[in-house]
Amino acid sequence: MPATPYKHLHDKNISSKKPTSCVVLAVVMACLTVLGIILAIAILERPSYSDKNDGEKILPLEPSIDSCSMAPVETIPLYMEYNDSATFGLPTQTVWEDLIAMATKQVDVVSFYWTLTGPDINVNSSSAIPGSHILTGLGSLPTRNVSVRVLISNPTVLTNSTDLKDLQQKGVQVREVEFGRLTHGVLHTKFWIVDRKHLFLGSPNMDWRALTQVKELGVVLHNCSTLAIDLEKIFNSYWEMGFPNSTLPDPWPSKYDTNITKSHPLLVEKDNITSQMYISGSPPLFCPQSRTPDIDAILTTISEAQHYVDVAVMEYLPMMQFEKPQTYWSVLDDAIRAAAFDRKVKIRMLVSCGRDSNPSVLSFLQSLAALDNHISHMSIKIKLFIVPVGNQTDIPYSRVNHNKYMVTDKAAYIGTSNWSGDYFTTTGGVGLVISQHAPHLIWKKSLQSQLRAVFERDWNSHFAIYLDELGHHPDCALGT
């Protein structure tokens, strides 16, 4: 080893008569250097546990053994005409019928309310026939030795429905969850779990109008046991709270915990497409601490977008609309404004307008749209989506775009909640977040790409109009 770098040591502290001390020191220094290199390599090669802003740690992902095929699911209301080149998700009716047909052991269904037959709402319409078929199919499952559990909110929408009584007579287990007593909200969740390996979630309630008269969007996943079992934990939490005089546990027992979160999503690889997924839940009172809250899932999806955020939702209201008095709730509104202003993310929002839409929606949307400014490089574009009523005027609470999803350049979110404060603080709901990667040539097969295509189809359709184009419209309560 060259002596030059250590010449000052000889000059000041080490006698020239003790050369071995210099050699020993040099050897020690060299060993420490080698050890530092080894440690650096070990650190670089170990699995990542980098901290996030919220203090959670990102755990190393192991690919799931599940195949998890997935597809968007849609209801396009009768008498809606798109152009010939438009693409669509799988029909809701077909997906539900297929799930019933493939069930061999267990089916769990949760819905805000049930009205699967026309007489439920005193309507005589041929468009109610598909709902009757679904009701019959579910009622036949116990004869095939398939266990069926059904959950519904209490309080719920007032109807004359006998659906659940009919199902109970056929061996289906039914429970009502008193969300009003437990959280001062409602159980707004809508999902299916079949044989603990197939699942469906999205905007459709168990309502015949969700099959023919209301525009809906959801997602179906087949052979996805890990995610289905995780969703079952949410179902079981509702089921447990369906007992009379139940009380919310604090904390929730460990059997409801999840290890699939926004910081540790489920990793699935299929057909050269890599998907990272997790299920979020609301309200916080109904979730163990390990479950990602639904509002956090939405905020994270928006905050991680780099180029665009496309939102399709029935109702957008930055307020606690079911509280007395109503109060302003800026959480989502702030996130959208920050994404557009701070990161110059392009925002597009497709908000439904029907005969029963809340007039308060318009002023909030106008406030957002006013920020669209090419000088400040902010892009927030908003359209109203109007489902034509036509000759279907005798069917109440229909002809509306009931979608609740978002797609960005980084992820997709499919939920069961409208975008207003109560849905994330007191109301039962779930969401599914999926982030996918695939080679360019097969990207169109990904769920993210298909959802973006659905959004583009609707955004560019003649059913979608900008706010300043509205004027008076007989099918939109927001019209002047």
- Determine the Cα–Cα distance for residues 162 and 155; give it in Å rounded to an integer: 16
Question: 408, 308 in Cβ contact below 8 A?
Answer: yes
Active site residue 17: no
| Residue tagged active-site, from 108, 163, 195, 296 | 195
- How many helices, marked H, and strands, marked E, lie in the chain? 13, 23
| Residue tagged active-site, from 66, 108, 120, 188 | 188
Q: Can you tell me whether residue 260 is helix, strand or coil?
A: coil
- Determine the Cα–Cα distance for residues 466 and 468; give it in Å rounded to an integer: 6
User: Which residues have C-beta within 8 Å of that of residue 225, sequence separation ≥ 6?
Assistant: 66, 196, 197
User: Which residues have C-beta within 8 Å of that of residue 33, sequence separation ≥ 6?
Assistant: none
| Residue tagged active-site, from 215, 262, 383, 402 | 402
Enter the tokens of residue 190. 């809508």
Closest CA to 313 of 429, 448, 418: 418
Active site residue 377: no
| Residue tagged active-site, from 66, 108, 120, 190 | 190
User: Which residues have C-beta within 8 Å of that of residue 428, sequence separation ≥ 6?
Assistant: 153, 177, 179, 183, 185, 186, 187, 188, 189, 238, 282, 283, 286
The angle formed by the CA atoms of residues 390, 395 and 400, to the nearest 5 degrees, is: 65
Strand ranges for 409-452 from DSSP E: 412-415, 419-420, 429-437
Cis amide prior to 253 (ω within 30 degrees): no
Q: Name the strand (E) or helix (H) holding 206.
A: strand 206-207
Active site residue 188: yes
- Determine the Cα–Cα distance for residues 231 and 80; give it in Å rounded to an integer: 33
Active site residue 402: yes
- Determine the Cα–Cα distance for residues 105 and 196; give it in Å rounded to an integer: 9
* DSSP codes joined into one string, 316-345: EESEETTSSS-EE--HHHHHHHHHHHHS--
- Determine the Cα–Cα distance for residues 160 and 260; give it in Å rounded to an integer: 40
Question: 195, 106 in Cβ contact below 8 A?
Answer: yes
Which amino acid would we find at residue 416?
A: T
Closest CA to 272 of 450, 63, 412, 432: 63
Catalytic residues: 188, 190, 195, 402
